[in-house]
């Protein structure tokens, strides 16, 4: 293969060239479409890829390069795949894991492949998902350091917020309004990180040394919310055995976040509007007014103007709260943030004595999931995975709702159209090939794995051989 061809294979379909320490893969097939298909699939995964159109060319490359994985066709002009396999295992002393590819599935050729020293055996046509799964498994065995390692440290705030263009715009807007005293309404679906944006505004403001106080207005009935925000004197109501400062008082000089403010009742909205207009309030149980210097931020997961139009929220209160509006996009609209945020959360929840890693296919599955619960759902999942993982977080450990979605299912395998669904006989054949490959062709062990006796196993083998007229001629 020419240097020009090697360079083309390295760079095609890649956003950037694979790193020099990426896994080295050789694709051997005398059919250009097959060779290019496999090469493209591997390049998309970030591996270094070389292609050979003949067994002779493969051996020349094998003599000069130390490959990690070889995909090799069985039937080619000149040297066959079995001869290439024997050379890699023999004279070349190669450590490469070798997967043979054939257009004719048969039990006999599968056994022959294993006996020649093949690590795996796949039948054409194969899915891209199968190829990528094989390569990923080899990489995890050979390059444990290639797993995405999780450093045990406190994650930077920006990593938790996200680095996507959409979130960078949100953060820039928050930083600009932070230096003012304008009221800010932060809008977005539940779990998108609205409170994080509020805390960012507070931290970058001149009030950063003073308290930041948050209250969920939608979680409390009016009476309790009034008591929580404005405070009360002793005996102000049944059960008020002691006087208590309100959150407006506690936030004096700092910032108060009214979360889910649109969930408050019309009666409470009147009282809140008066406080915002006058800058003072009365604790429950007294006529004495208290004046405070508080910057009020608010947050909601609803469209406040729609609520105004429906008569559920006061227009004048909205004017007071929404000096500036910041909209936080849902996580599904900024998938670029899923990977850095996942790693940042895992970093937060990792135990120093136990380093965590997560496989690339698991991260890809996380990126493809819809995240209806947004950042909160991602955070809770990472907390659970960090607590339960033995060290390496794999795609199999992710919840069923993540790996079973159509977008994520393609990570593990491609969706098979109904017209291409395999027959029961084909499924049996595929199962036989896999088991025999896994046990090195040992029929006694294969029978044990499959839970059948040897006679049943032989009948299954005979059935597959009889159904394939050319099965004795590998192709």
Whether residue 310 is found in the same domain as residue 346? no
Whether residue 177 is found in the same domain as residue 293? yes
CB 371 within 8 A of CB 330: yes
Dihedral-angle region of residue 13 (phi above 0 means left; psi in -120 to 50 means alpha; beta otherwise):
left
On whether residue 19 sits in a domain, the answer given is yes
Which of 192, 218, 163, 164 shows the shortest CA–CA distance to 373?
Answer: 192
In this prediction, residue 310 carries a pLDDT of 95
What's the CA gap between 434 and 416, in Å, rounded? 19
Whether residue 278 is found in the same domain as residue 364? no
Domain at 9, CATH number: 3.40.50.2300
pLDDT of 270-294, one tens digit each?
A: 999 999 998 888 887 778 888 889 9
Whether residue 324 is found in the same domain as residue 340? no
In this prediction, residue 12 carries a pLDDT of 36
Whether residue 232 is found in the same domain as residue 275? yes
In this prediction, residue 144 carries a pLDDT of 56
Whether residue 56 is found in the same domain as residue 197? no
Rounded alpha-carbon distances, angstroms, from residue 196 to 167, 202, 468: 12, 10, 63
331, 359, 375 - which closes a domain: 331
371, 402, 433 - which closes a domain: 402
pLDDT of 150-163, one tens digit each?
A: 544 444 454 567 88
Whether residue 297 is found in the same domain as residue 170? yes
On whether residue 473 sits in a domain, the answer given is no
Whether residue 325 is found in the same domain as residue 290? yes
On whether residue 114 sits in a domain, the answer given is no
User: Among the residues of 231-314, which ranges form H helices?
Assistant: 247-250, 266-278, 304-309
**Segments of the chain with pLDDT less than 70:** 1-19, 104-116, 140, 143-160, 235-241, 351-355, 405-427, 430-431, 434-442, 444-446, 448-451, 464-475
Domain at 211, CATH number: 3.40.50.300
On whether residue 426 sits in a domain, the answer given is no
CB 214 within 8 A of CB 250: no
In this prediction, residue 95 carries a pLDDT of 82
The two beta strands, 356-358 and 392-393, are parallel
On whether residue 299 sits in a domain, the answer given is yes
In this prediction, residue 262 carries a pLDDT of 96
What's the CA gap between 438 and 257, in Å, rounded? 59
Whether residue 324 is found in the same domain as residue 338? no
Query: Residue 150 is inside which H or E element, if any?
Result: strand 148-150
Q: Report the number of distinct structural domains present in the chain.
A: 3
Which of 190, 191, 173 shows the shortest CA–CA distance to 182?
Answer: 173
296, 313, 331 - which closes a domain: 331
The two beta strands, 24-28 and 69-73, are parallel
On whether residue 263 sits in a domain, the answer given is yes
On whether residue 435 sits in a domain, the answer given is no
Which of 352, 338, 337 shows the shortest CA–CA distance to 154?
Answer: 352
Query: Residue 231 is inside which H or E element, if any?
Result: strand 231-232
Whether residue 252 is found in the same domain as residue 193? yes
On whether residue 450 sits in a domain, the answer given is no
Report residue 176 as tokens: 């600009």
Give the residue numbers spanning the domain of 353: 148-157+334-402
Whether residue 293 is found in the same domain as residue 327? yes
Domain at 357, CATH number: 1.10.8.60
Whether residue 47 is found in the same domain as residue 67? yes
């Amino acid at each position: 293969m020419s240097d020009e061809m090697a360079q083309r294979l390295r760079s095609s379909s890649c956003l950037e060239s694979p790193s020099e320490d990426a896994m080295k893969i050789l694709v051997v097939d005398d059919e250009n479409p097959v060779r290019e298909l496999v090469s493209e699939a591997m390049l998309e995964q970030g591996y270094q890829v070389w292609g050979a159109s003949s067994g002779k060319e493969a051996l020349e490359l094998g003599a000069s390069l130390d490959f990690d994985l070889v995909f090799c066709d069985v039937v080619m002009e000149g040297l066959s795949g079995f001869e290439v396999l024997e050379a890699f295992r023999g004279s070349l002393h190669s450590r490469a894991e070798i997967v043979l590819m054939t257009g004719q599935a048969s039990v006999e050729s599968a056994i022959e492949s294993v006996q020649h020293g093949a690590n795996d055996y796949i039948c054409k046509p194969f899915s891209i998902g199968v190829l990528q799964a094989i390569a990923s498994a080899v990489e995890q065995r050979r390059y444990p350091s290639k797993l995405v390692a999780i450093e045990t440290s406190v994650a930077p705030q920006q990593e938790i917020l996200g680095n996507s263009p959409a979130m960078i715009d949100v953060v820039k807007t928050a930083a600009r309004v932070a230096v003012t005293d304008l009221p800010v309404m932060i809008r977005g679906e539940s779990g998108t990180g609205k409170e994080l944006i509020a805390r960012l505004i507070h931290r970058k403001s001149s009030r950063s040394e003073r308290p930041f106080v948050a209250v969920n207005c939608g979680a409390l009935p009016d009476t309790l919310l009034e008591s929580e925000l404005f405070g009360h004197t002793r005996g102000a109501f049944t059960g008020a055995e002691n006087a208590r400062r309100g959150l407006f008082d506690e936030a004096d000089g700092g910032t108060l976040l009214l979360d889910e403010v649109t969930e408050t009742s019309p009666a409470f909205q009147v009282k809140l509007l008066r406080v915002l207009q006058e800058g003072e309030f009365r604790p429950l149980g007294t006529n004495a007014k208290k004046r405070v210097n508080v910057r009020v931020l608010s947050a909601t997961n609803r469209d406040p103007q729609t609520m105004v139009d429906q008569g559920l929220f006061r227009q004048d209160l909205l004017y007071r709260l929404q000096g500036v509006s910041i909209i936080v996009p849902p996580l599904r609209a900024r998938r670029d943030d899923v990977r850095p945020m996942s790693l940042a959360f895992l970093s937060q929840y990792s135990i120093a004595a136990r380093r965590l890693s997560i496989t690339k296919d698991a991260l890809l599955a996380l990126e493809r999931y819809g995240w209806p619960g947004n950042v909160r759902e991602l955070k809770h999942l990472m907390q659970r995975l960090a607590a339960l993982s033995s060290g390496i977080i794999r795609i199999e450990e992710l919840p069923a709702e993540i790996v079973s979605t159509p977008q994520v299912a393609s990570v593990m395998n491609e969706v098979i159209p109904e017209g291409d669904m395999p027959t029961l006989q084909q499924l049996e054949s595929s199962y036989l090939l896999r088991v025999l490959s896994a046990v090195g062709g040992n029929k006694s062990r294969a029978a044990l794995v499959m839970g059948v006796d040897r006679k049943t196993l032989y009948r299954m083998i005979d059935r597959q051989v009889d159904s394939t007229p050319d099965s004795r001629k590998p192709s």
